[in-house]
Amino acid sequence: MKKVISLAVLTAVLVGCTDLNSTDTSMVNGYGTDGFGEETLVTEDSSLNNAYLLAAAPKYYIGSAYKVEDVQYIPVEDLTYNQTGIAGIVPAELNGTKTSNGEVFDVNQMVATSKTLPLPTIARVTNLDNGQSVVVRVNNRGPFVNTRIMDLSPAAAQKIGMNGQTKVQVQVMANESMAVKNATLGATSQASQPVQTTETTVITTTTAPGVTSAPAATGDYSVQVAAFYAQDSADTLAARMAQYGNAVVVPEGDMYKVRIINLDAAQARSVIDALRANEGMAPGLLLNGRWINADSI
């Protein structure tokens, strides 16, 4: 049975969501408005040939950790993302509204929402009831309903036979996601490479080489760089992040979080600025283990 939710009710619920620790400070109908067994896909699928999917976005947006209704979400760049859960359909009434990365939501495009994936990200969504798949461009935050991991545009939902909430598999397409990221960041000549080749600013610290041991604590701040479901990916990034300070991998639940720890306020500010400028990242900030706004220092 199709579940219809009043837009007025959704708006009322979200008005009280004020505990946001990121730029995701405005929500309408559960979506960001701060701008707004698998089947093998075949090349005949028109969604794969849609140039819009890989077009540059107004901005590449990850965002810092934030809360909605006392539930914390931590946006991360995870090219190994492969999750199964419930998906819904974005209300058609949102057609023409801005998405979180500054695009315009179009009910006729193959687009979707996510609470944590970078915007834009390219993902393959498979309806587990019938095996039908579609490639979508994730370009907005939401849905802020704990039972759903993604909402699809009406066109994308129709493509895989969804009439309402449906169990799906969502898998990030790494090469395509990196291509659209690099196009957005103006690095189209390096679109096939996962890391931009840029000269980085090395931050002087007392950190010893390596990422497995930490020196005596010198500060109460930690900068979170990313989080992964695969430990190997986290270890690789932590080794590269050692140039910015004492980079460690922190296991939490089923995720491995890469953090630069033991920073004072000035060092944390310097690390955040360098990661943004050199790596195109959107790091989060913790003070004594508690999330705070990355621009509060």
Label residue 202 exposed, middle or buried (CB < 10 Å: 0-12, 13-18, 19+): exposed
Q: Which pLDDT belongs to residue 42? A: 35
Two structure tokens written together for 280: 């195109």
Given a cut of 60, is residue 190 above it in pLDDT?
no
Confidence of residue 70 (pLDDT cuts 50, 70, 90): confident
3-state secondary structure the chain: CCCCCCHHHHHHHHHCCCCCCCCCCCEECCEECCCCCCCCCCCCCHHHHCHHHHCCCCCCECCCCEEECCEEECCCCCCCCEEEEEEEECCHHHCCCECCCCCECCCCCCEEECCCCCECEEEEEEECCCCCEEEEEEEECCCCCCCEEEEECHHHHHHCCCCCCEEEEEEECHHHHHHHHHHHCCCHHHCCCCCCCCCCCCCCCCCCCCCCCCCCCCCCEEEEEEEECCHHHHHHHHHHHHHHCEEEEEEECCEEEEEEEEECHHHHHHHHHHHHHHHCCCCEEEECCEEECCCCC
The whole-number average pLDDT for the span 209-214 is: 34
Domain spans of the chain, in order of start: 7-184, 214-292
- Checking if the pLDDT of 144 tops 90, the result is no
Q: What is the pLDDT of residue 69?
A: 80
If you average pLDDT over every residue of the chain, what do you get? 75
We find that the CATH architecture of domain 7-184 is Beta Barrel (2.40)
- The per-residue pLDDT for 49 is 54
| Whole-number pLDDT of residue 61 | 92
pTM here is 0.53
Q: What is the mean pLDDT of residues 36-59?
A: 57
pLDDT digits (tens, 9 = 90+) for 16-25: 333 333 434 3
Predicted local distance difference test score (pLDDT) of residue 3 = 41
Confidence of residue 77 (pLDDT cuts 50, 70, 90): confident
Say yes or no to pLDDT of 47 above 70.
Answer: no
Q: Is the pLDDT of residue 14 over 60?
A: no
Class for domain 214-292, per CATH? alpha beta
| pLDDT above 70 for 182 | yes
> Is it the case that residue 101 has pLDDT exceeding 80?
yes
